């Protein structure tokens, strides 16, 4: 009898945990991140303030191309992610360019200035510092001069081989994006 009750309690705990995990939306992303360590090389000296610090969840998209040796290999194509504030509200979408578009209509594009390996999370895409340029619209992103991609998890090229030129592969990732003014 006791083992049946213990089994039911264990099962109830599993279902409760699974239910909470399924109910957890983007707001739970904040719990998945530790305080991000920023390498000095990714800290611009002329940035004066943080415009926004958002948690991202999405995919890194790769395409199968021929390399210099004419072998098929994965090449980075574009990101596709949604960025959320601490309350779980979708604030910005991230796509090719790279570009970021806020819900208020402001947009920026970026160019990579520096990158650093994520030494805290093996098998993750690198940390980045990008210079931002206003691509349109007043609002949240209109004063952003730099973007940092920090605390990355995942997103590296697919582990399986690409077998056909043009084939697409997607790798899930999460990260923190800090927009600096």
Query: Domain span at residue 45?
Result: 25-180
Q: What is the pLDDT of residue 37?
A: 76
How far apart (Å, rounded) are the C-alpha atoms in residues 86 and 30? Answer: 6
Q: What is the pLDDT of residue 1?
A: 42
Give yes or no for residue 132 having a pLDDT over 70: yes
Average pLDDT rounded to a whole number, residues 158-181:
96
| Beta-strand pair 107-116/127-136 | antiparallel
* Alpha-helix residue ranges (DSSP H) falling in 114-158: none
- Do the domain assignments include residue 11? no
Q: How confident is the model at residue 154 (pLDDT cuts 50, 70, 90)?
A: very high
Q: What is the pLDDT of residue 151?
A: 97
Which tokens sit at 26?
């983007």
Average pLDDT rounded to a whole number, residues 128-149:
95
- Do the domain assignments include residue 171? yes
Q: How confident is the model at residue 36 (pLDDT cuts 50, 70, 90)?
A: low
- Do the domain assignments include residue 129? yes
Domain total for the chain? 1
Asked whether the beta carbons of 64 and 72 are under 8 A apart, the reply is yes
Report the DSSP beta bridge partners of residue 129. Answer: 114, 148
- With CA atoms as reference, report the closest residue to 28 among 58, 60, 57: 57
- Do the domain assignments include residue 3? no
- Do the domain assignments include residue 152? yes
Average pLDDT rounded to a whole number, residues 85-104:
97
- Do the domain assignments include residue 35? yes
Give yes or no for residue 20 having a pLDDT over 50: no
- With CA atoms as reference, report the closest residue to 74 among 165, 152, 153: 165
């Amino acid at each position: 009898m006791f083992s049946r009750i213990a089994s039911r309690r264990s099962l109830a705990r599993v279902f409760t945990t699974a239910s909470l995990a399924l109910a957890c939306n983007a707001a739970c992303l904040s719990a998945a991140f530790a305080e991000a360590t920023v390498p000095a090389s990714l800290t611009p000296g002329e940035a004066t303030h943080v415009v926004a610090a958002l948690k991202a969840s999405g995919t890194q998209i790769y395409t199968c191309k021929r390399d210099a040796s004419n072998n098929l290999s994965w090449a980075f194509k574009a990101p596709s992610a949604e960025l959320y504030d601490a309350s779980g509200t979708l604030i910005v979408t991230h796509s090719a360019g790279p570009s970021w578009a806020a819900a208020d209509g402001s947009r920026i594009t970026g160019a990579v200035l520096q990158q650093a390996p994520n030494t805290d999370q093996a098998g993750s895409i690198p940390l980045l510092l990008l210079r931002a340029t206003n691509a349109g619209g007043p609002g949240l992103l209109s004063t952003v001069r730099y973007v940092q991609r920090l605390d990355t998890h995942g997103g590296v090229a697919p582990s399986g081989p690409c077998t056909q030129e043009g084939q697409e592969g997607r790798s899930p990732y999460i990260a923190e994006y800090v927009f600096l003014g």
